[in-house]
Amino acid sequence: MRRVTFFPLLSLLLIFLLPSCGGGGGGEVSTSTPSSAPITTSVAATSITENSVTLNGTVNPNGLTTQAWFEYGTDPGLQAYASTPGQDVGNGLVARSVTTNVGVLAPGTTYYFRICAESSGGYSEGQITWFTTASPGSAPAVTTVSATSVGATGATLNGSVIPNGLATDAWFEWGMDPTLASFSTTGTQSVGSGTTSQAIDQPLSGLATGTPYYYRVAARNGAGTSKGHIQCVVPGAAPAVTTLTATGVGTTGATLNGSVNPNGLTTDAWFEWGSSADLVTFDTTPAQAVGAGTDFLPVMATLSGLIPGTPYYYRVAASNSTGTAKGAIARFTTASPLIFGVVSTSPANNATDVPLDVRITVTFNEDVEPATLVDAIAVSSVAGNLPGVISYNATTRTATFTPSSPLAPLTDHTVTVAAKVKSVSTERLSTPYVFGFRTGAG
């Protein structure tokens, strides 16, 4: 069921009138319930015309089968909105791009939208963003877009401009004043005289690490000048982190997963974990160097020597010279040796350089009722679920998934064994069993 949140009017006004300033990614925000809800991020609209647009976003299914859709309308808070049809985005552990085309829009109108997603782990929604449709013969329609290539002392400003049929020049206004009452300007760029959105960008350098900078796109033609909403970027911000679902959970071990964006500064990452639900006390895994880039990178750590049948709590954490960030607390429970479950897989969890013609096997600790294995093993990658045939060997208690064609090279794959699988004593798996591997070059 979709979660509904109500905001007081004053809160809505503050959300849409004041620029927000997040780390590195230009203020991108996603919401999710800890542990397994999808992770969603709205991305700037593209191909904007008088009456149509392409809406964009990303969704990380966080290991559970997930549906995604967009909500859009003219209400800045999206208390009233239309929805696009749902899309299946699989059950992987990496973010997937989601797009949809929307038509029958009104010319010269500002629309707001967000991406949403839902799985058995919960509901999540991306931040609300906006665009303005074309209105031929009018002043340009402009949209400020999140900054990219954010480094320790630089960033690239981005925007979208519709010339509205008149010869148009565009530029950026930027500075440290949140209202841009005073600002610097970049050089002007010609964006033509069409009626479809044109992307523009401008790199900035020599910025102060850890300092908020505000910016907006602006454009003018024969009908007037337009200025976009103000956005913010912080060069070399503290890391951005996301805790992901644990995989390979067994009786005495598990693999912790997370995602870290160094935001342009040399960064180390680690996991904090323990039996305390709020992690007031915790152990830490060894620190891992994740570089100084501006993209999200996967991090993982394998725990061993855990107590069977016990809940454990964990979160990813990272630190650079600007600060330390800690992700949401997630939970997993080790399997009981008396409970029906998976004892081994091939390839092993987190295996690399796996052959493209691999046959994927899952071995159980009890004999399995074969009928419950029908469609119970799913193998997915960024391309979606892969076709294949499932067979079962009662002597070894092993189910085998044979792909219909060789796997893609140098690609991450996620294997999910559905909780519907039963032993001959009618015990079900307590939760879906998820593990992953990466193929080799071939």
Amino acid (1-letter code) at residue 114: R
Q: Residue 365's domain is classified under what CATH number?
A: 2.60.40.1220
Name, in order, each residue with C-beta under 8 angstroms of 34's C-beta and a sequence gap of 6 or more: 243, 328, 329, 330, 331
**Dist. CA 263–CA 150, nearest whole Å:** 7
9-30 average pLDDT score: 39
Q: Tell the residue number behind the tokens 């295996």, with chain if given.
A: 351
Domain count of the fold of the chain? 3
CA–centroid distance for 72 within its chain: 19
If asked whether residues 249 and 323 sit together in one domain, one would say yes
If asked whether residues 412 and 327 sit together in one domain, one would say no
If asked whether residues 318 and 382 sit together in one domain, one would say no
Other CB atoms within a 10 A radius of the CB of residue 182 amount to 9
If asked whether residues 80 and 126 sit together in one domain, one would say yes
Q: Residue 79's domain is classified under what CATH number?
A: 2.60.40.10
Q: Looking at residue 143, what is its pLDDT?
A: 95
| H-run or E-run covering 223 | none
Label residues 213-231 b or e (16+ Cβ within 10 Å = b): bbbbbbbbbebeebebebb
If asked whether residues 354 and 296 sit together in one domain, one would say no
Q: Looking at residue 63, what is its pLDDT?
A: 83
> Are the CB atoms for 233 and 317 separated by under 8 Å?
no
Report yes or no on 55 lying in a domain.
Answer: yes
Report yes or no on 142 lying in a domain.
Answer: no
8-state DSSP, 126: B
If asked whether residues 409 and 367 sit together in one domain, one would say yes
4-13 average pLDDT score: 35
If asked whether residues 328 and 393 sit together in one domain, one would say no
Among 333, 361, 383, identify where a domain stops: 333
Other CB atoms within a 10 A radius of the CB of residue 79 amount to 12
pLDDT grade, residue 20 (50/70/90)?
Answer: low
**Dist. CA 39–CA 90, nearest whole Å:** 13
Among candidates 404, 392, 332, which has minimal Cα distance to 366?
A: 392
Q: Looking at residue 29, what is its pLDDT?
A: 34
Give the residues across from 311 on adjacent strands: 333
- How far CA 415 is from CA of 283, 321, 346, 412, 431, in Å, comes to 29, 37, 11, 10, 14
> Are the CB atoms for 139 and 96 separated by under 8 Å?
no
pLDDT grade, residue 32 (50/70/90)?
Answer: very low
In the predicted structure, residue 5 carries a pLDDT above the cut 90: no
- How far CA 388 is from CA of 120, 296, 342, 404, 422, in Å, comes to 25, 31, 20, 5, 21
Q: Tell the residue number behind the tokens 């399997």, with chain if given.
A: 335
108-121 average pLDDT score: 94
Other CB atoms within a 10 A radius of the CB of residue 187 amount to 8
Name, in order, each residue with C-beta under 8 angstroms of 346's C-beta and a sequence gap of 6 or more: 360, 361
Q: Looking at residue 148, what is its pLDDT?
A: 87
Amino acid (1-letter code) at residue 276: S
- List phi, psi (to 5°) of 372: -80, -5
Among candidates 213, 215, 216, 267, which has minimal Cα distance to 235?
A: 213
Among 132, 154, 182, identify where a domain stops: 132
**Dist. CA 356–CA 71, nearest whole Å:** 39
Report yes or no on 229 lying in a domain.
Answer: no
If asked whether residues 315 and 373 sit together in one domain, one would say no
Query: In percent, how much of the chain has pLDDT > 70?
Result: 92
Better-predicted residue by pLDDT, 168 or 9: 168
If asked whether residues 282 and 346 sit together in one domain, one would say no
pLDDT grade, residue 251 (50/70/90)?
Answer: confident
Instruction: State both tokens at 414.
Output: 């996620």
**Dist. CA 132–CA 87, nearest whole Å:** 25
Report yes or no on 185 lying in a domain.
Answer: no
Q: Looking at residue 285, what is its pLDDT?
A: 97
Report yes or no on 373 lying in a domain.
Answer: yes
What are the tens digits of pLDDT across the range 367-406? Answer: 999 999 999 999 999 889 999 999 999 999 999 999 999 9
8-state DSSP, 406: P
Q: Looking at residue 47, what is its pLDDT?
A: 94
**Dist. CA 34–CA 147, nearest whole Å:** 27
If asked whether residues 277 and 328 sit together in one domain, one would say yes
> Are the CB atoms for 257 and 264 separated by under 8 Å?
no
Q: Looking at residue 247, what is its pLDDT?
A: 87
If asked whether residues 72 and 127 sit together in one domain, one would say yes
**Dist. CA 301–CA 411, nearest whole Å:** 20
**Dist. CA 365–CA 24, nearest whole Å:** 47
Extended beta strands in 61-132, E state: 67-73, 82-83, 87-88, 96-102, 110-119, 122-125, 129-132
115-133 average pLDDT score: 92
Among candidates 431, 439, 373, which has minimal Cα distance to 63?
A: 431
Alpha helices in 6-121 (DSSP H): 9-17
Full residue range of the structural domain in which residue 263 is found: 240-333
Among 100, 132, 164, identify where a domain stops: 132
- List phi, psi (to 5°) of 257: -130, 145
If asked whether residues 279 and 308 sit together in one domain, one would say yes
Report yes or no on 164 lying in a domain.
Answer: no
* Averaged pLDDT of the chain: 89
Report yes or no on 61 lying in a domain.
Answer: yes
Report yes or no on 18 lying in a domain.
Answer: no
